[in-house]
Structure 1
Amino acid sequence: MLNTAAHALQPVAAHRGDVRQAEYYVDLLDELRAAVTEDLAHQRASLAKRELNGVEFGVSRLQRAIKMKEAELATLNRLADAIGSRFPMV
């Protein structure tokens, strides 16, 4: 029983295929995060411009879109962190 408990606490060694797949998904997540970050920057700039010019039309839509992009970015970050914790060498 002690052997089984000690074994359960040891990190699972990753196979090369698992590491390659993790690297693929980390790269994909990096690309997605870059695209979302760029979209978010454009939306924030558009919102700031509207607020600066006193244009109210579309402000609430932009605010909702920004919140959605922020949530999407947070999800992508959590996924990347999860892969990084499972495969620290990636």
Structure 2
Amino acid sequence: GLSYRRSFDGAEYLDGSGVSSQKLQYITPFIGVDYKNFVFAYTYNYQSNSIVFNNGGFHQITLGYNFNCRREKYSCNCPAVN
């Protein structure tokens, strides 16, 4: 998928003619996989402003586990199952 985020409040800075304001903007492509009760995801965040904290983006890796998940009951239309 793809995510776009923009901050509500701007950061003020001095340019040659006075004080200006700029809002943080991030573009983030992401991908994830569910395998049994495990979750694996990868994202790369890129700041798309003209004033940035860093020249590149940053990587994130997510490893997760879904606790307390129950299997769905098997439905075979049998009288004594479950």
- Normalising by the smaller structure, the TM-score range is under 0.3
| Larger Rg belongs to | 2
Structure with the largest fraction of strand: 2
Relative to the length of structure 1, the TM-score reads 0.21
Q: TM-score, normalised by structure 2?
A: 0.22
More helix by share: 1
